[in-house]
Structure formats: structure tokens, C-alpha cells
């Protein structure tokens, strides 16, 4: 993950990510909610427009306004996991990187690819002996860059994430440098501070030994990797459980109506999603090798 070292011991990883995600993110959800709702609405509308309108179980020919046609027919066919990933990336990027970057198509494409490519690369490297992993990764990178045929399949599988990582680093580094410069110039920005995880990491990092921009970008990418796939899988499992247990739909809708979408008061929704995640855990396939630090 762009050089970020992840250790088995929690203390070795520090407490910045804990404070950012468990304290600052939660405490700012009320302020973030309008931005997140706009991101969900925009992304969901885009996904619906890209789907195929259905009639009697068959896709109808695409027209100029396929979404309007689908509304008339009543059905749209979508790939559930792809839709969930796209929506989660749009929403999470708003909270992680701010509205500006979350509206950039090139940045969003890289943000979507990065977690998936890291996951695929890590799974591929599981079949390689530990002492050879770094050599295989380095060799595949060289073969990919000079476009030698024997290494292209391996390189495309293992190092394709490098392209997405390079794009993210290229976008994030100047943003982080600007935040660090602003932090040094003014210690009391108050409400004028950006409302995103980058700013919270800058504010929370150790003051005696402040982090470099490179280190902050590494931490952001590490948190981003964990934020997309698991949440997207949880969304998919939640949708499947709603289809499997339709009796819950009415109660959940009533709660949303009564609470007017205030997420902190959605007790039934919270319980439903927790039970869905408990029955379909999404982290069992991403466990690292035991007693070993990962980089």
C-alpha cells in the first residue's frame, strides 16, 4: 500500500486512525450528512441511468433517456456489487478527500481500482513463498515497464495497482502539502478547516514528530483500502437480505420517515445491517498470514 507498514500489534500501528475514524468522523457525521446524501443521490442516479431497462424479464433497446424509459417500465437491471462499489467510492471519497477530489472522474476511477487491485495482488502473492514475494513483485514491475511478453500476465495481475496508486499519490500529495503548510501558518482555523479525513489526520498526527506528506498519503491510502470493499460487500449483503426477508422493508422505511434520515437515530437500520454483516462476514477472505507484518 505505497510503502505503508502494517503490523500485527495494534500499538505498533499508532492511534491516529482510531481517533480519525471512531471519534472525529462520527462526531462530524451531522455536518457531513448533506454532502454524503448528495453523493449518494448523484451516484445512484448515474448507476440507474447506466442500467438496462427491463420489460417482461427482457432488456429493451437502449434509448436516449434510458432512465425515463425504465421508470415507465418499472425495472432496471444492474450488477449489484459493481453498483455498490461505485456508490461507496463516491460517498467515501467525499468523507476522505473532500468534495473537490470526489468530483474528479480520473481520481474516482483510480480510487475505485486501487483497493481491488491491491486485494487481487495480495491474493496472488499468497501462492508465493514469503522469501520470494518481494522479488516476484520487483521482477513483475520491471517486466511490465519494458513490456516483455513472459511477464505481462504476471505484471498485469500483480502490479496493475501501481498505476492506480501513482494516480492517487499524484493527486493527494499537493493537497496534503497544502494542508501541512496551512497548519503551520495558522493554528486556529476553527470552522474554516476542510471537513474530511485528510484534515483530521493532519490535525491528529504527533506534534513532537510530525509526519511528512508521504507518510500521511500512505496512511490515507491504507485507510482507503479498508473502506471500500468491505462496505460495498456489506451493502450487497444488506440488499440481498432485504430481498430474502421483505417483511423488514416496511419497518425500515417507517423508521427513515419518522427520523427524517437522521443516521444517529436509525436503530432498526443499524441492527439490521449489523445482523446482515454478522451472518455474512466480509473480512474472512482478507486475513493476513499469521504472526507477520505486512507492507
Q: Hey, what's the cell of 124?
A: 496472488
CA–CA–CA angle 242, 243, 246 (5° rounding): 70
- Going 146 to 142 to 288 to 170, the CA torsion angle's sign is negative
Please state, in angstroms and rounded to a whole number, the distance separating the CA atoms of residues 178 and 184.
Answer: 10
**Could you report the per-residue pLDDT of 140-164, keeping only the tens digit for each?**
555 445 444 444 444 454 545 478 8
pLDDT the model gives residue 136: 64
For the chain, percent of residues with pLDDT exceeding 70: 67
Q: Hey, what's the cell of 172?
A: 493527494
pLDDT the model gives residue 260: 81
End-to-end CA distance of the chain: 7
CB atoms within 10 A of CB 192: 8
Place of cell 468523507: 95
Which carries the bigger pLDDT value, residue 47 or residue 136? 47
- Going 5 to 175 to 98 to 25, the CA torsion angle's sign is positive
Which carries the bigger pLDDT value, residue 151 or residue 221? 221
- For the chain, the 3-state helix, strand and coil shares in percent, each to the nearest 5, are 75, 5, 25
**Could you report the per-residue pLDDT of 51-76, keeping only the tens digit for each?**
665 555 565 555 445 555 555 656 67
Q: How confident is the model at residue 246 (pLDDT cuts 50, 70, 90)?
A: very high
Please state, in angstroms and rounded to a whole number, the distance separating the CA atoms of residues 264 and 255.
Answer: 12
DSSP, residue by residue, 78-122: --HHHHHHHHHHHHHHHHHH-HHHHT-HHHHHHHHHHHHHHHHHH
The average confidence (pLDDT) of the chain is: 77
CA distances from 177 to 94, 138, 210 (A): 19, 29, 13
pLDDT the model gives residue 295: 39
DSSP, residue by residue, 201-223: HHHHS-SSSPPPHHHHHHHHHHH
Of the candidate ranges 28-42, 44-58, 151-165, the one whose mean pLDDT is the lowest: 151-165
Please state, in angstroms and rounded to a whole number, the distance separating the CA atoms of residues 59 and 73.
Answer: 11
* SS3 (DSSP) at 58: strand
**Could you report the per-residue pLDDT of 189-201, keeping only the tens digit for each?**
555 788 999 999 9
Amino acid at each position: 500500500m505505497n510503502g505503508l507498514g502494517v503490523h500485527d500489534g495494534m500499538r505498533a500501528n499508532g492511534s491516529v486512525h482510531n481517533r480519525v475514524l471512531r471519534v472525529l468522523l462520527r462526531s462530524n457525521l451531522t455536518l457531513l450528512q448533506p454532502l454524503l446524501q448528495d453523493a449518494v443521490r448523484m451516484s445512484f442516479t448515474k448507476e440507474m441511468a447506466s442500467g438496462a431497462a427491463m420489460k417482461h424479464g427482457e432488456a429493451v433497446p437502449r434509448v436516449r433517456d434510458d432512465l425515463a424509459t425504465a421508470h415507465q417500465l418499472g425495472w432496471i437491471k444492474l450488477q449489484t456489487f459493481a453498483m455498490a462499489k461505485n456508490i461507496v467510492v463516491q460517498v467515501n471519497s467525499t468523507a476522505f478527500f473532500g468534495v473537490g477530489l470526489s468530483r474528479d472522474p480520473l481520481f474516482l476511477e483510480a480510487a475505485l481500482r486501487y483497493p481491488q487491485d491491491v486485494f487481487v495482488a495480495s491474493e496472488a502473492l499468497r501462492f508465493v513463498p514469503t522469501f520470494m514475494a518481494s522479488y516476484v513483485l520487483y521482477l513483475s514491475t520491471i517486466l511490465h515497464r519494458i513490456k516483455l511478453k513472459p511477464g505481462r500476465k504476471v505484471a498485469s495481475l500483480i502490479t496493475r495497482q501501481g498505476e492506480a496508486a501513482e494516480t492517487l499519490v499524484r493527486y493527494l500529495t499537493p493537497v496534503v502539502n497544502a494542508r501541512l503548510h496551512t497548519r503551520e501558518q495558522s493554528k486556529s482555523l476553527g470552522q474554516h478547516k476542510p471537513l474530511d479525513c485528510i484534515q483530521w489526520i493532519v490535525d491528529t498526527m504527533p506534534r513532537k514528530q510530525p509526519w511528512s506528506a508521504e507518510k500521511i498519503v500512505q496512511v490515507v491510502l491504507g485507510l482507503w483500502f479498508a473502506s471500500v470493499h468491505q462496505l460495498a460487500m456489506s451493502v450487497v449483503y444488506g440488499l440481498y437480505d432485504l430481498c430474502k426477508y421483505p417483511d423488514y422493508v416496511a419497518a425500515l422505511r417507517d423508521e427513515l420517515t419518522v427520523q427524517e434520515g437522521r443516521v444517529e437515530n436509525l436503530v432498526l437500520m443499524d441492527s439490521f445491517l449489523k445482523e446482515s454483516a454478522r451472518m455474512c462476514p466480509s473480512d474472512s477472505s482478507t486475513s493476513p498470514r499469521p504472526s507477520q507484518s505486512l507492507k
